Chains A and B, each alone.
Chain A
Amino acid sequence: MPTKTLAGTPVDTDDEGYLVNHSQWNKDVAAALAAEEGITLTDGHWKVLDFIDTDFKERSVVPGMRRLNKVGNIPTKDLYALFPDGPIKKAARISGYPKPVSCV
């Protein structure tokens, strides 16, 4: 399991760079993960990240697109503008949660 240092914090990740231990996550780590994706975090990004965080704590799953639309009130268009090329995967990684599993 790779270990690296982000924003001065040592973190454990899986092979695709998703944090394996959410307790190692904080807002500075999030900013560093976002920078790896070429993203500078704004309030718009944090609205998404906060929703994922709250929702994951409640349901233990990264919310899908429709849940972000309907429950989180965040339109898909905005998600693609904020996190280009695969918003759910990128937002999940920056939130410090596992890669979303597609359903079978």
Chain B
Amino acid sequence: MKTLLILGAGTAGTIMASTLRNKLPKGEWTITLVDRAPDHYYQPGYLFMPFGIYTENDVRRPMTRTVPRGIDYREADVDRIDAAANRVLLPDGTEVPYDVLIIATGVHPAPEQVEGMVNGDWRKNVHEFYTFEGAKALTERLKSWQGGRLVVHICEMPIKCPVAPLEFTFLADAWLQEKGLREKTEIVYVTPMSGAFTKPVASGILTRLLDEKRISVVHDFAIARVDAEKKSIVSWDEKEVPYDLLVTVPPNMGAEMIDRSGLGDELNYVPTDKHTLQCKAHANIFVIGDATDCPTSKAGSVAHFESEVLTENILHFIAGQPLRSRFDGHANCFIESGHGKAFLLDFNYDQEPVTGTFPLPALGPMRLLAESRLNHLGKMAFRWVYWNILLPGWPIPLVGHKMSLRGKNIPPKEIKAAA
């Protein structure tokens, strides 16, 4: 028997376990899946918890329900990967040998990377919503909010789901209006980037939206420390932004285990071939989802599109063939804009988000880079799709891993550049 070992049972790891269990003969291949958490979380749902749109039970399911059948599942932490010996060591000394390894250990917020961030005010007036615990604490904090300065802040790029802080801001604006607290609340959006978003067309549209909603933006702000006594964040060039409630996105680091294994870069991301998803340092190690250093969004949609490419490439690798499937960086993100509306972005390594229709030209029915109720319904329906279609490894109709240019309004200059 041969072993395919997957580290991490989040979105990417679970989809890979599902698809490969269907493809690899049961008599020849054991698929082992290791994760330290007893529950699987629907991470896009964290955003909605503070506003009472989702409850804890909407975003959490026990692993026993999400790990596919026919998988050797181990609830355990990982001490390190010993790539030279093709084995993984668990903290209790157990050795798990592998023939092929998939790293799907994701990224996590690392607030301790910023001076003064984890202090007496942490989870009191300084919050994050990228973990279940964080979203729960912020939900409680908002219940007692009476107005003041709400600062939504990104520490540094890259982060998981780069549009989530904007969505949080838009949803907070709408929620405060409903509660009659908007006039008593000043909302400030603080980013290390030069604009609202990294890509020019989307950034322009989102900047206008922030403006319409009377949200002020502080850009090019590189945080040096949190001053809890003065309740302000301070940049390296000594700019200060005071807050009553700080909702920050801490630096996103890969698993410490990656660092212990000597496989990561300065953020513990694994250097990965951005097209084949093979680890640059070891041919029988593959990397998927947030754990890679690929220059695309760290997002569930990316993990899903990558899973189609990686499934094919692992089958090629096992058969001793060249890795023929290529990932194009395809990402597809809904942006909640408040009041039951949302935007939709579809882009890849080469094509920035533009306006148009999705997934079909002219027919849509979804509109790209424009606000609509249908986009919002799409985002809400996605939770069902996630649990019932995505994790079990079924394909999503009409939306493939290769981004389609059809239906996109691309400026003529860019078509030439992309061709």
Q: Which residues of A contact B (CB under 8 A)?
A: 64-67, 69-71, 76-77, 79-80, 84-86, 101-104
Contacts and interface: CB of A to CB of B under 8 A. Distances in A.
B190 to A, nearest CB: 15
B278 to A, nearest CB: 17
A104 B236 contact: no
Of B157, B236, B331, B347, which is in contact with the most chain A CB atoms at under 10 Å from its CB?
B236
A65 B158 contact: no
Contact of A103 (B220, B224, B265, B295): B295
A65 B297 CA distance: 19
A104 B162 contact: yes
Contacts of A85: 220, 237
B296 A76 contact: no
A73 to B, nearest CB: 12
Nearest to A67: B266
B341 to A, nearest CB: 23
A66 B199 contact: no
A66 B267 contact: yes
B265 A104 contact: no
Contacts of B236: 76-77, 79-80
Contacts of A66: 156, 266-267
Contacts, number: 44
Contacts of B224: 76-77
A88 B156 CA distance: 13
B237 A80 contact: yes
Interface of B: 156-158, 162, 193, 198-199, 220, 222, 224, 236-237, 265-267, 295-297, 331, 347
Given A69-B266, A71-B266, A80-B237, A104 B222 contact: no
Nearest to A63: B266
Given A77-B224, A104-B198, 12 more contacts: A67-B266, A69-B266, A70-B266, A77-B236, A80-B237, A101-B198, A102-B157, A103-B162, A103-B198, A103-B295, A104-B297, A104-B347
A72 B158 CA distance: 20
Of A66, A67, A71, A104, which is in contact with the most chain B CB atoms at under 10 Å from its CB?
A104
A95 B220 CA distance: 21
B295 A67 contact: no
Nearest to B224: A76
Contacts of A69: 266
Contact of B158 (A77, A79, A84, A103): A103
Contact of A65 (B156, B296, B331): B156
Contacts of B157: 102-103
A102 B193 contact: yes
Contact of A86 (B220, B267, B295, B296): B220
Of B158, B199, B222, B296, which is in contact with the most chain A CB atoms at under 10 Å from its CB?
B222
A86 B158 CA distance: 17
A67 B297 CA distance: 20
Contacts of A104: 158, 162, 198-199, 295-297, 331, 347
Contacts of A102: 157-158, 193, 198
Contact of A84 (B156, B237, B297): B237
29 contacts: A65-B156, A65-B222, A66-B266, A66-B267, A67-B265, A67-B266, A69-B266, A76-B236, A77-B224, A77-B236, A80-B236, A84-B237, A85-B220, A86-B220, A101-B198, A101-B295, A102-B157, A102-B158, A102-B193, A102-B198, A103-B157, A103-B162, A103-B198, A103-B295, A104-B198, A104-B295, A104-B296, A104-B331, A104-B347
